[in-house]
């Protein structure tokens, strides 16, 4: 069975600082991995995805994530946080045929001025 673990339900950084949100997956087969972002009172929207091409994936708003099979990780990073990055971030895993998605419990990112 597939599952996703996000370490840290809340992360707080200063504006301009590095953002690092952690995600580890458990999968019996090579998975597809996603990061979604949720702004207050909205649905989730795709930030980036890994589908077995390049292991370093670039997404929208300056975010990127690196797939590390040896560590079963897919951590999300951004070199310099902006106030507009404050949101909740979800890591998700899907099987080969995209017919089911499993989400982590989410990490709320707070950006301090």
Which residues contact another protein by CB under 8 A? 6, 9, 32, 34, 36, 41-46, 49, 51, 90, 92, 94, 96-106
- Which one, 36 or 67, has the nearer CB to another protein? 36
C-alpha radius of gyration, the chain, whole number: 13
Closest separation between CB of residue 97 and another protein, Å? 4
DSSP per residue, 43-109 = -EEEEEEE-SS-SEEE-GGG-EEEEEGGGTEEEEEESS--GGG-EEEEEEEE-TTS--EEE---EEE
- Which one, 15 or 108, has the nearer CB to another protein? 108
- Which one, 43 or 113, has the nearer CB to another protein? 43
Closest separation between CB of residue 42 and another protein, Å? 6
Nearest-angstrom CA–CA distance, 61 and 9:
21
- Which one, 28 or 41, has the nearer CB to another protein? 41
Nearest-angstrom CA–CA distance, 70 and 84:
33
Tokens matching residue 15 = 């504006």
Closest separation between CB of residue 10 and another protein, Å? 11
Closest separation between CB of residue 54 and another protein, Å? 15
């Amino acid at each position: 069975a597939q599952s996703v673990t996000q370490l840290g339900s809340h992360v707080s950084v200063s504006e301009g600082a590095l953002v690092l949100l952690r995600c580890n997956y458990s999968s019996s087969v090579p998975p597809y991995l996603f990061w979604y972002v949720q702004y207050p009172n909205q649905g989730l929207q795709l930030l980036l995805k890994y589908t077995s091409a390049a292991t370093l994936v670039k997404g929208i708003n300056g975010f990127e994530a690196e797939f590390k099979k040896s560590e079963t990780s897919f951590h999300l990073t951004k070199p310099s946080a902006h106030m507009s990055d404050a949101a909740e971030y979800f890591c998700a895993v899907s099987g080969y045929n995209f017919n089911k998605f499993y989400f982590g419990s989410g990490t709320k990112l707070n950006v301090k001025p």
